[in-house]
Amino acid sequence: MVVAVTWVDDIVIASKQLHLVEEVEHGLEKDMQIKKQGDLKHHLGMEIQRQGSKILLTQKTYIKDVLYRFGMESCKGQKVPLNSKVKVTREAGEKLDKDGLRLYQEKVGSLQYLATCTRPDISFAVGLLGRFCKCPTTFHMELADQVLLYIAWTRDMGLEFGGRKPNFIVYVDWNSRLQQTVAVSTCEAEYQAAGAAVRAALWWRKLLPDLGIETGVVDIRGDNQSTLVVISNPISSDKTKHIDIIHHFTRERVEMGEVKFSYCSTEEMVADILTKALERNKLEKSRSMMGVVSWD
């Protein structure tokens, strides 16, 4: 099997058998002029490192350039992207002038690329800062600098893949997406989020076998026990009869054996790192569980 990933005029070709990669390269050479780069070490601003069957994606050079651009290359950094006890509001601080607005947007944009590619541990912080890009204040600028300081502290970290048998687990937290319908309780909100998680899991369940990865039944874990009861009990009640029928899609897929739901304690809830500012110990634990590590 050969997998070819294209990005404009860049093509990454992967296979367990080298001769298959070479066959694809020869086929491309017949129709176009190509430049072979050998083993993949850089792609779209990311560095690729290998240790046996494991792969680490980092953006060390990009981080160095970002910190230099904003005059923070010599900073020691801080150990969390945002203080979990600080309340972020639209009114805090003084409104930035035109130059300050542009600088703030540049910082948030630079962080957004990191969060999208190799640093999902800053996704919540970057998403929060992005809400104020239209009219930021000095307070929001300070928060952006805090995230940059965190990146300075963890500049060698990246996303690790491989090294063990794939274990496809989805973690659901009801704050993890904006709901399209109004929920009247935490249980109902997480039930709706569970439906979104099921749809995403089924999409991956269809894609991964094409890449040679069998997922089996997808284990979806949540920390709201009331939601798990609603999912496992198909009998309608006064508490569930008003929920839109589309959200009961979850129960159907459980009965079909495509997904299953199990309880996950709040302490083990990896998705928390994507939905709220965490204290250092919980942040480091969630970060490691989601595969953000350092090999240095």
Tell me: the pLDDT tens digits for 9-18? 888 988 888 8
Say yes or no: 111 and 199 in one domain. no
Is residue 230 a part of any domain in this protein?
A: yes
Examine the domain organization and report whether 132 and 187 are in the same domain: no
87 with 132, same domain?
yes
Q: Are 213 and 166 in contact (CB under 8 A)?
A: yes
Predicted confidence band at 115 (pLDDT cuts at 50, 70, 90)?
A: very high
Q: Does a structural domain hold residue 168?
A: no
191 and 152 in one domain? no
Query: pLDDT tier at 32 (50, 70, 90 boundaries)?
Result: confident
Does residue 228 lie within any of the structural domains? yes
* H helices present in the chain, as ranges: 18-31, 60-69, 98-117, 123-130, 138-153, 186-207, 225-232, 249-255, 280-289
Tell whether 153 and 187 lie within a shared domain.
no
Selected residue with higher pLDDT from 259 and 244: 259
pLDDT per position as a tens digit, 213-242: 877 888 888 887 877 887 777 555 555 555
Q: Is residue 289 part of a domain?
A: no
Last residue of a domain, one of 99, 125, 158: 158
Supply the pTM of this predicted model. 0.82
* 154 and 68 fall within a common domain: yes
- Does 75 lie in the same domain as 24? no
Report the DSSP pairing between strands 292-293 and 158-162.
Answer: antiparallel
Residue where a domain stops, chosen among 129, 158, 187: 158
Residue 85 confidence (pLDDT) above 70: yes
As a whole number, mean pLDDT of residues 25-41 equals 88
Residue 170 confidence (pLDDT) above 80: no
The answer to whether position 292 is within a domain reads no
Query: 100: which residues sit within 8 A by CB, 6+ positions away?
Result: 136, 138, 141
Nearest CA to 5 out of 38, 31, 44 is that of 44
Residue 119, pLDDT above cutoff 60? yes
Mean pLDDT for 92-115 is 96
Give the count of domains, the chain: 3
pLDDT digits (tens, 9 = 90+) for 171-219: 766 554 446 554 556 777 777 778 888 888 889 888 888 877 877 888 8
- 182 with 153, same domain: the answer is no
Question: 21-58 in b/e burial notation, b at 16+ Cβ within 10 A?
Answer: beebeeeeeeeeeeeeeeeeeeeeebbeeeeeeebbbb
Same domain as 142, residue 198: no
Q: Are residues 218 and 255 in the same domain?
A: yes
Strand order in the sheet with 218-222: 169-172, 218-222, 259-263
Residues 137 and 222 in one domain: no
In a domain, 183, yes or no: yes
Whether 151 and 64 share a structural domain: yes
Query: How many whole angstroms from its chain centre is CA 88?
Result: 22
For the chain, the average pLDDT equals: 86
Has residue 75 got a pLDDT over 90? no
Q: Which amino acid is at 263?
A: Y
Q: What is the pLDDT of residue 176?
A: 45
**Is residue 25 one of the residues assigned to a domain?**
yes
| Domain region containing 195 | 178-274
Distances (CA, A) of 24 to 1, 8, 34, 35, 141: 11, 18, 12, 13, 49
Q: Residue 171: inside a domain, yes or no?
A: no
